[in-house]
Amino acid sequence: MILSRFQIPEWAQRWLSHVPVAVMTALLAQELLLSNGKFSIKENQLELAAAISAFVVAITTRSLMGTVVMGIIVMMAARHFM
């Protein structure tokens, strides 16, 4: 409510537009690359496979539904066959 009375400069608005992406990246990186507080790709192979495939679908289709479905399908298949 207080900030609604101030005019934010254009450079600040551009900078703030990157905050959600940075926060999401930090949360995902921590979840996908750390295991018990230590860097470990081997222990998170299934999650990484699902995340990478979902990322590819997100970039190519720009579809939230397709991205979520791809991540779920890859994770289900990986858990079933491994």
Burial class (CB in 10 A: 0-12, 13-18, 19+), 44: middle
Q: What is the pLDDT of residue 51?
A: 92
Amino acid at 72: I
Quick one: which of 78, 10, 69, 2 has its CA closest to 45?
A: 78
Cross-strand pairs, 39? 34
pLDDT band at 59 (very low <50, low <70, confident <90, very high): very high
What average pLDDT does the segment 69-81 reach? 93
Query: What is the structure's pLDDT at 44?
Result: 87
Determine the pLDDT at residue 6. 81
Percent of the chain's residues with pLDDT above 90: 43
E strands in the chain = 34-35, 38-39
Average of pLDDT values for 18-31? 88
> The pTM is what?
0.69
